[in-house]
Amino acid sequence: MATAYLLLTERRVKASDLARTVQEFSYEGISTAVPRYFNSSSFRQEWIERRTRLIPQWKCPVLLLQGADDPLQPREFYTDPAVLAQLPQGSGVHLFDSGHFRPFEFPEEMITVLRDFLK
C-alpha cells in the first residue's frame, strides 16, 4: 500500500499518514474489498457514468477535488467545459498541485478548500 503513495504522489507524504494508511488497510477483509472495487470498474468508466447518468441527477452544489498531476484521473476529466456546465449552480472544481493522494499531499489546502466551499 505504501508503494502506491510513493508512485502516485507529487509531494512528500508524512510518515505518520503512511503508517495510518497501512494500519487501515490491515483490517480483515480490506485486502479483498479494495481490489474488488477496482476490478469492477475503472476510473474512465466511472467518469463516463458520471457524465451520462449521475451528474444530471445531482441537485445540490458539488465540489470536484482532483490532483492536477494525477496519472490515474487526467485533469481533462475535470476541466471539460461541457461537463462543468452540467453541474448544479454553486458547484466548482479545485485542482490541487498534486498527484492522486491530494489530502495527504496538501492537507491544509484541502481543509481550506472544503471549508470555503461549505460556507
How many CA atoms within 13 Å lie on the side-chain side of 44? 1
At 24, list the grid cell: 487501515
- Average pLDDT of the segment spanning 63-80: 82
**Per-residue pLDDT tens for 75-106?**
777 788 887 888 899 998 999 888 888 888 88
In whole numbers, what is the pLDDT of the chain averaged over residues?
84
**Helix H or strand E segment including 41:** none
Res. 1 pLDDT band, cuts 50 70 90: low
